[in-house]
């Protein structure tokens, strides 16, 4: 069985039809078995046609794109997609950048890109930790005082106020009211007051 080539073309907006035409014309030289195209932002995670293209590929097949920006707008997302392809034994060919991961130079490009993405992720982690170490403020939600928790429980047990009203009166979120009630094994049956 011959390995297939599947094309994926994308433009960000409806007004970029010419961009889609250019991509599809460039694909003709490679004679793809199937082409998927869509008009959607490259930053969107839920790209239906890309998912279809990826699911149609098997080990030894090639995903053909016009350029890397058609596949992804972020280097992290690009590395993740390329890793997914690599793990499945699927090659990536980008026409404009002359990248072909079936070749040694294409695999080198992928390795360098993955290394840069990992380096940047580590740098972000280090900068975040350093910034947190310099601040005196504790992270997370502020703790609810014992007095406030008692007040919430008293109002909750009274059943005269809706959860929303208890939250407003005690200056906490509705979720906090539910969390405190659950912590004390309290629950309310749905009543007209709580809808």
Report residue 164 as tokens: 């929303």
- Output the six-digit token pair for 129: 């930790």
**Spatial contact of 37 and 49, defined as CB atoms under 8 Å apart:** yes
Cα-trace Rg, the chain: 27
Q: Which residues contact 40 (CB under 8 A, 6 or more apart)?
A: 10, 12, 47
Which residue from 24, 5, 108 is spatially nearest to 63, judged by alpha carbons? 5
CA–CA distance, 98 with 101 (Å, rounded to integer): 10
- Based on the residue annotation, tell me whether 37 is a catalytic residue of this protein: no
Count other C-beta atoms under 10 Å from residue 34's C-beta: 13
The catalytically annotated residue of 12, 69, 75, 86 is 12
Among all residues, which ones are annotated catalytic?
12
């Amino acid at each position: 069985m011959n390995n297939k080539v599947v094309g994926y073309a994308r433009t960000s907006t409806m007004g970029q039809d010419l961009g889609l035409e250019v991509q599809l014309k460039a694909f003709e030289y490679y004679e793809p078995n199937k082409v998927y195209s869509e008009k959607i932002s490259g930053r969107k995670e839920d790209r239906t046609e890309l998912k279809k293209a990826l699911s149609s590929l098997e080990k030894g097949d090639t995903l053909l794109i016009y350029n890397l920006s058609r596949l992804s707008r972020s280097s992290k997302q690009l590395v993740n997609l390329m890793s997914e392809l690599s793990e499945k034994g699927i090659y990536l060919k980008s026409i404009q950048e002359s990248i072909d991961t079936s070749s040694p130079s294409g695999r080198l490009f992928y390795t360098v890109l993955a290394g840069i993405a990992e380096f940047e992720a580590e740098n972000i982690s280090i900068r975040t930790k350093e910034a947190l170490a310099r601040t005196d403020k504790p992270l997370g939600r502020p703790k609810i005082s014992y007095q406030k928790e008692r007040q919430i429980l008293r109002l909750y047990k009274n059943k005269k106020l809706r959860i929303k009203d208890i939250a407003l009166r005690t200056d906490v979120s509705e979720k906090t009211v539910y969390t405190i009630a659950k912590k004390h094994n309290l629950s309310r049956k749905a009543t007209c007051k709580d809808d």
